[in-house]
Structure 1
Amino acid sequence: MIRSLSLCVASLALGLLTGPVAAAPIKNPIAVFSGLDKVTGRIISFDVYIDETVQFGALRVTPRTCLTQPPTEEPNTMVFAEVDEITLDSRIRRIFTGWMFAASPGLNAVEHPVYDVWLKDCVLSSDVAPPPGFKQGDYAQDPMGLIDRPDGWFPVPRRRPFVAQQQEEEEVPPDLIED
């Protein structure tokens, strides 16, 4: 009796120690950034493949890894990126290295007097042509369309087209017509 009770307590303690298992993050090949030119007030969005560099104004943005959580987890999108500034004397100076979080763009902000850059999303596909040597197999696959959806985490049923139905006209009884 004592042996079975101690076995029960031990298994309960082991279950409490392990806790819930977190799902592995999804590795995405493309980071979607937004950039603000503080002088003109223009905001643009640009897609950057992992380990590729895109220039926005005097800044060069290079994402190194872009992660999202699976649809079953709390949404959390993050990128490890490097941002370099091209100075007036044509030198390259690193102004940011670290994690950016889409949910909290101000948490690790790029400090620059003219430009702001922040992460919007990590995606599996883009209209931008992939760089030479890009291998989609190195990244997450999404055959069901659950991960890379612009309208949310889960598929939305298609709307049925509206078809107007003709209603038959009713004759109004003569006693209801007012003169």
Structure 2
Amino acid sequence: MKRLLVALALLVPTTGAAQDMASAPGGTLRFLDKVTGRVEDLSLSRGQAVLLGRLTVQLDECRYPRDNPAADAQAHLTVMETEGARQMFSGWMLASSPALSAMDHPRYDVWVLSCDSGFVAPEVTEPDNEEPLEEINEG
């Protein structure tokens, strides 16, 4: 346990102040069934649970950096095996480092993709004119 704490301390950047985090009303998770190959992205509200295969996945909390909403999401999940009501995972998952705190299940994998911060990425639009771009001659 002590080695794990030391390893985690080395991974955390040493800055003067902690990063200011905001709480989101929901988040997006990705679910993988390793046997069938089924992949599904799910948008859940805070506190919402969903049945996926033989698992019940609940999004307890989702946080993101206040100054950069598109950056790293951190979600607290509770995952229960439906049959037998056995807890498979309860803890924080980081979008940028899913293996750091991963759920250990032989068939299923769940990880966080993003928080619903209200941030909307700008749409990519096509140019208005259909004139070809000038070619650059290499001489």
| TM-score (structure 2 length as normaliser) | 0.72
Partners of 2:70 and 2:115 in 1: how far apart?
Answer: 15
Q: Is the 8 A contact 1:78 1:101 kept in 2?
A: yes
Q: How does 1:9-88 map to 2 (within 5 A)?
A: 20-22=16-18, 24-72=20-68, 75-87=71-83
**Per the alignment, do residues 40 and 52 of structure 1 end up closer, same or farther by CA in structure 2, a change over 3 Å counting?**
same
* 2:109 matches 1:116: yes
Structure holding more helix per residue: 1
Q: 1:105 aligns with which of 66, 87, 98?
A: 98
What SS does the aligned partner of 1:66 have? strand
**Per the alignment, do residues 70 and 114 of structure 1 end up closer, same or farther by CA in structure 2, a change over 3 Å counting?**
same
| Shift in Å, 1:74 | 9.5
Equivalent position of 1:5 in the other structure: none
Equivalent position of 1:162 in the other structure: 128
**Per the alignment, do residues 72 and 37 of structure 1 end up closer, same or farther by CA in structure 2, a change over 3 Å counting?**
closer
RMSD, aligned α-carbons: 2.5
5+ unaligned residues in a row in structure 2: which ranges? Answer: 1-14, 132-139
5+ unaligned residues in a row in structure 1: which ranges? Answer: 1-18, 125-141, 143-147, 166-179
Partners of 1:160 and 1:73 in 2: how far apart?
Answer: 26
Q: Is the 8 A contact 2:20 2:67 kept in 1?
A: no
Structure holding more strand per residue: 2
**Per the alignment, do residues 161 and 109 of structure 1 end up closer, same or farther by CA in structure 2, a change over 3 Å counting?**
same
2:94 aligned partner, one-letter code = F
Matched positions, count: 117
**Per the alignment, do residues 35 and 70 of structure 1 end up closer, same or farther by CA in structure 2, a change over 3 Å counting?**
same
Is the radius of gyration larger for structure 1 or structure 2?
Answer: 1
Equivalent position of 1:94 in the other structure: 87
